[in-house]
Amino acid sequence: MGTWGAGVFADDVARDVRQDYLASLAAGEDPARVTRRMVKEWAGRGSDRDDRTVFWLALAATQWEYGRLEPTVKARALAVIDRGDDLARWEGQDGARRAVLGRLRTKLMSRQPRPRMPRPPKPVPEPKTTTVVAPGAKIRAVSFEIGDDKRGWLGQVLVDEPGVGGGGVFAADCRQDEIGLRWKDASTLVISYPANVRVQSRRPGYARWGWSIKILYRAIKSTKRPPR
């Protein structure tokens, strides 16, 4: 549902790639066959350029971690890093992303660990979401959360149009039910959140293939947090 940081796996596409690869290995599939299938589905499916660059980086990082980095995957990931293909979408965070990719490049060039098998993945519950559709339009805003009580929570907001696409616009260290969504009109979204939480990303607007919206933010002061 978007991107919430500069890390290799701070991205929904990257997390999906990692989970796909590890789940396939845990199910006993041949690693080379898994890679061929994923390349066909993820990098050759006509997806946009951003998804393709994230795919190669996430797959290379995951394969190296499990001692299974394939030469072709390594070469494609290094090419993405060296050409700077992945930096265009990192408005305001390109420095942090460049540092992340520099560390990834060093890792990919180093000797990888011995091959190991991942554990079968634990079932992941569907995230709680709230969806608000713009008046007289197909554009919608969706809030959701990831994390847990032990590691902490990250509440996020994305905007999209079904069948067209969209992306993340807001992320903060809070629960999903602490984020308020309201459309002021068909092209203006109001997002409210607790003033005492750390905001990780906050875009002033979003544009996508024929439509654009403005985003207004309200930091609400409150000494009481909703029950978990």
Mean pLDDT of the chain, nearest integer:
87
49 vs 47, higher pLDDT: 49
100 vs 208, higher pLDDT: 100
Span 168-184, pLDDT tens digits: 999 999 999 999 999 99
pTM over 0.75: no
Span 143-164, pLDDT tens digits: 999 887 777 899 999 999 887 7
Per domain, the residue ranges of the chain are 12-109, 129-220
Span 180-207, pLDDT tens digits: 999 999 999 999 999 999 999 999 999 8
For every residue of the chain, DSSP letters joined together read --B-SSSTTSBHHHHHHHHHHHHHHHTT--HHHHHHHHIIIIISS---HHHHHHHHHHHHHHHHHTT---HHHHHHHHHHHHHTTTSTT-TTTHHHHHHHHHHHHHHHHSPPPPP-PPPPPPP-PPPPEEEEEPTTSS-EEEEEEEEETTTEEEEEEEEEETTTEEEEEEEESS-GGG-EEEEEETTEEEEEEETTS-EEEE-SEEEETTEEEEEEEEEE--S-PPP-
